[in-house]
Amino acid sequence: MSPSFRIRHARPDDLDALVALEESSFDHDRVSRAQWRRHIRAASAAVLVADTDGSVAGCALLFFRHGSKRARLYSIATSHDSRGRGVGAALLQAAEDEARKRGCETMRLEVRTDNTTAIAMYEKRGYLRRKREPGFYENGADAWRHEKPLV
């Protein structure tokens, strides 16, 4: 069975959906409307969305530094209705593809130490746990830093 969504780059008309997804997915460390607007247009970022018949089922936000061979996956979020349907994994694959296309050799990310579902997804796909980051999040929660070679 093929997925009922496609991954594409976000457009300015996705802004309301991105903000709504962010608010329903995270209690803190949220990306603001102004930040989404800036990231959609920025050469140093990529915003990917999982589109299901014109609705945003999920998104991934990546950052790139000029001259760096390392991409940073800042966030992946999926709508409650889309969880367990492969949306997160498809966004992760698309993020890696985007990073490779931009010449990156590694992808780095941080994930809450208690987010066992996300940790399992990342580690199943080759991300290696590198370091615990105490108090990484706005609310004081710790994070695991993960990294994966893309070449």
In the chain, where are the structural domains located? 6-149
| pLDDT recorded at residue 12 | 96
d(CA 58, CA 51): 8
Read off the pLDDT of residues 88-139 as tens digits, 9 standing for 90 and up: 999 999 999 999 999 999 999 999 999 999 999 999 999 999 999 999 999 9
DSSP 8-state class, residue 88: H
Given this model, what pLDDT does residue 3 score?
57
Summarised one tens digit per residue, pLDDT across range 15-55 is 999 999 999 988 888 999 999 999 999 999 999 999 998 89
Two tokens, residue 147: 């990294």
Contact of 75 with 60, CB cutoff 8 Å: yes
Q: What is the pLDDT of residue 9?
A: 97
pTM of the model: 0.92
Looking at domain 6-149, which CATH architecture does it have? 3-Layer(aba) Sandwich (3.40)
Q: Look at residue 84 in the predicted model and tell me its pLDDT.
A: 83
Crossing angle for the helix pair 15-25 and 33-41, nearest 10 degrees? Answer: 130
Q: Which two tokens stand for residue 26?
A: 């995270």
State the SS3 of 42-59. Answer: CCCEEEEEEEECCEEEEE
Bridge partner list, 106: 70, 149
Burial of 128 (0-12, 13-18, 19+ CB in 10 A): exposed
Question: What pLDDT, on a 0 to 100 scale, did the predictor assign at position 53?
Answer: 86
Q: Which residue has the higher pLDDT, 149 or 25?
A: 149
Alpha helices in the chain (DSSP H): 15-25, 33-41, 87-101, 116-124
The two tokens of residue 70 are: 């390392």
pLDDT of res. 131: 96
DSSP state for residue 32 in the 8-state scheme: P
- Taking only the tens place, the pLDDT of each residue in 46-99 is 999 999 988 999 999 999 999 999 999 999 999 988 888 899 999 999 999 999
